[in-house]
Amino acid sequence: MQDWILNLVSFAIGTIITWFITKWFYKRAALDLKSETLKIRRLLDIVLYALEKAKMVKVNRDASGQVIGMEFELFVNSAVHSMTSDNVTLNVVKENQNSK
């Protein structure tokens, strides 16, 4: 009977120790992920700012200034281009710049 109780107590102690160690590693991993995400977001903001200043894209922002999307215009030098890949065909026609 004492072996059964000893096994149960050993199992409970092992489970508690494992839970605390696992919790510590998951919290550390979450903090690392948050730090990396903030770095990537900051770099993306820099790239979008540079593209916007170069007038390559128009960045859409919400009321708080967070990026929610972007728009860009495609300018083509020749009248018609055709690109075909499998079942997809893209035809781009240059607009008359004077009609705007």
Residue 10 structural domain = 2-99
Query: How far are the Cα atoms of 28, 40, 41, 57, 61 from residue 46, in angstroms, in the given order?
Result: 28, 10, 9, 13, 14
Q: Spell out a b/e string for 11-31, using b for 16 or more CB atoms within 10 Å of the CB, else e.
A: eeeeeeeeeeeeeeeeeeeee
pLDDT in tens, 28-62: 999 999 999 999 999 998 998 898 898 888 888 88
**How many domains does the structure of the chain reveal?**
1
- Cβ pair 56, 72 in contact under 8 A: yes
Query: How far are the Cα atoms of 22, 23, 81 from residue 27, in angstroms, in the given order?
Result: 9, 6, 53
* pLDDT confidence tier of residue 22, bands split at 50, 70 and 90: very high
Contacts of 76 (CB under 8 A, 6+ apart): 92, 93, 94
